[in-house]
Chain A
Amino acid sequence: MVKSIRKRKKYTAHNQKSAYLFIAPSMVILSVFVFIPLIASFVISITDMNIFMKDVHFTGIQNFIRLFSDDRVINATFNSLYFTLLEVPLQVGLALLLTVSLAKNNRYCKLLRSVYYLPFVCSMTAIGIVWSMLLDPNMGLFAYWLKSVGVETVSFLKDPQLAMPTVIAVTAWKGFGYTLTLLAAAVLNISQSLYEAAQMDGAGSFQKFIHITVPGIWPTISFCIVTTTIGAMQMFDQAYVMTQGGPLNKTETVVQYIYDRGFQTAPYDLGYASAISVYLFVIVAVMTFVLRKVILNRGEDADA
């Protein structure tokens, strides 16, 4: 008896040691490349560090004062919000609408869902190249088709008013199949008996959608809204490939401006770039918090 307890103790100690060995590689990597940078980001944001990293001084909140009077920060913030406020409802709304026809497990629905997912697999670089060429006003196929049905075409990606809506449309085009896949999986989990009961009460498709489907998958919808919003606020790839932030900085987003300050334009002001990162981090955190409050409350109302 005593012997077996001692044996177990010895075994547990041994087990503990190997457990630490198992997690060691991941813990080291996460510490060095996530934890430390996370803290460092806040520290660097109150310095005047540049890419040469010489003569670094603490400057207090100077970077933040500068940030709030920097027209390009204000412009980029506006652009990121504009992008997010239109792209998220477009992508999630379209996906939600499509669940009405496609949240079934027959062959047609499965096939279409996997077709819609295709653009999500592709890189934004390739997608951006394709759409830029198709919409090119001089030789683009889509621009030509539009012209031949009488739509006066302009240069979608070079027109200050149209560039951002075009980038929004391409982004939603690329992402809605992914959202649809998540939503359809949730719809398929709703108990069929709910729909049958509603049918007997004489509910139409629209009523079933509003009163059963939407409340039934509300947690998944809110997950999609929150994650798509976070992603949209960090938009970079689309604008980098299709518009380079232009025309007239009309599509320059916050992340793009961070990249531009820190890595593209001399004097590679890392301190200032970090300050803008912190600023964006706070905006996204507040938005996430508010969204979740609002959405979760609404979900409870819908349940009641």
Chain B
Amino acid sequence: MHKTRRKVRLGEAAGYILTLLIALTVIVPILWLLVSSFKTDVGVIKFPPRFFPEEWTLHQYLYVGDSIPVFEMTKNTVIFAGGVTVISLLFDSMAGYAFARMHFKGSKLLFSIILLTMMVPFQIIMTPLYIEVYKFNLLDTYLGLILPRATSAFGIYMMSSFFAGLPKSLEESGRIDGMSEFRIFRSIMLPLCKPALVSLGIYHFMNNWNDLLYPLMLTSSQSKRTLSAGLAVLVGNKVIKYGPTLAAAMISLTPLLLLYIFCQKYFIEGIAASGMKE
């Protein structure tokens, strides 16, 4: 008895040490990026390297625009990720609502086709998608970036499972009052699914904010590049200095990190929902 208890305690101690060590390896690189973005040009490439800056400065943030069009890239990313999120939340929830709460011919067939498209990987459609966007004359435009992502099979599926779980009698009161179907959706049903909308919104926002291959392929000029695509190209070309790169990388992370710190619950719920996807 005594022995096993000691064994358990030892195991627990080992668990704490291991988990804390791993936590360090997770935090240190991100923290290094944060503090290093406040180093001077000399501090960044100093040898031997130091973790913390010897002299804290805002220099990298003030002059990052001289070598990296970070303002423009941020604007593009906000328009792209924000636009996709807002439009796709509307379309996803409209379609999800119809599939969950309305009876119409072909609904089952259409819904299973939509579920099937969840399994289509991006790389198989990417070349034809590029040709389409090119033929529509939408390459290198915001519309061309947003439109193909303006709805998603996963979002429709997630919203429809949420709507299906709401009590049956909800629409009836609206119908008795003679409301139009869209008004019932807009003013009775939609407000009830705020948590699902926030989770799905965060899911869309994060995926599009961080996406690389898709915006890389559909934009050709520097002026429409998103943060993640634009930075990847600049770093690949090895034309920019370390200091501004650090500041720009930090700028690209900040919105999502803040969102994560304040809305953590919804990040986890979103992935719990995507875990149900199968």
Binding site for B on A (CB under 8 A): 12, 15-16, 18-20, 22-23, 25-27, 29-30, 32-38, 40-41, 44, 53, 98, 100-102, 112, 114-119, 121-134, 138-141, 144, 173, 177-178, 181-182, 185, 204-205, 220, 223, 226, 230, 234, 236-237, 240-241, 244, 255, 258-259, 262-263, 270, 273-274, 277-278, 280-281, 284
Contacts and interface: CB of A to CB of B under 8 A. Distances in A.
B192 interface: no
12 contacts: A18-B180, A22-B94, A102-B19, A121-B206, A125-B212, A130-B29, A181-B271, A185-B272, A234-B123, A259-B216, A262-B130, A277-B123
Given A26-B94, A26-B151, A44-B131, 15 more contacts: A15-B181, A23-B98, A23-B99, A26-B95, A29-B147, A33-B125, A33-B148, A37-B128, A38-B128, A118-B26, A123-B210, A126-B250, A127-B29, A144-B48, A204-B4
Contact of B32 (A19, A101, A141): A141
Given A112-B19, A116-B22, A182-B275, A25 B125 contact: no
Interface stretch (B54-62, B193-201, B251-259): B251-259
The number of chain B residues touching the other chain, given as a range, is: 35 or more
A241 B237 CA distance: 10
B252 A125 contact: yes
Contacts of A116: 22-23, 26
A123 B205 CA distance: 12
A255 B49 CA distance: 36
Contact of A40 (B26, B104, B128): B128
Interface in B201-242: 206, 209-210, 212-213, 216-217, 227-229, 231-232, 235-236, 242
A37 B256 CA distance: 31
A63 to B, nearest CB: 12
B121 A281 contact: yes
Contacts of B51: 141
A298 B76 CA distance: 48
A41 B30 contact: no
A76 to B, nearest CB: 12
B236 A244 contact: yes
A12 B105 CA distance: 11
B94 A240 contact: no
B52 to A, nearest CB: 11
Interface string B23-44: 1011101101100000000000
A223 B278 CA distance: 8
A280 B123 contact: yes
B87 to A, nearest CB: 9
A246 B64 CA distance: 28
Contacts of B47: 138-139, 144
A230 B114 CA distance: 19
A44 B235 contact: no
B18 A101 contact: yes
B267 interface: yes
Given A22-B98, A241-B232, A123 B132 contact: no
Contact of A112 (B23, B97, B210, B232): B23
B23 to A, nearest CB: 5
A272 to B, nearest CB: 10
A44 B212 contact: no
Nearest to A148: B48
A18 B185 CA distance: 11
Contact of A234 (B33, B46, B122): B122
A122 B253 contact: yes
B85 interface: no
Contacts of A33: 125, 129, 132, 147-148
A40 B132 CA distance: 10
Given A118-B26, A234-B123, A241-B235, A18 B102 contact: yes
Contacts of B227: 123, 125
A115 B99 contact: no
A137 B56 CA distance: 25
B150 A29 contact: yes
Contact of B131 (A121, A241, A270, A284): A270
Contacts of B260: 117-118, 121
Contact of B29 (A123, A131, A223, A258): A131
Contact of A230 (B121, B150, B213, B267): B121
B128 A274 contact: yes
A177 B30 CA distance: 15
Nearest to A22: B98
A29 B151 contact: yes
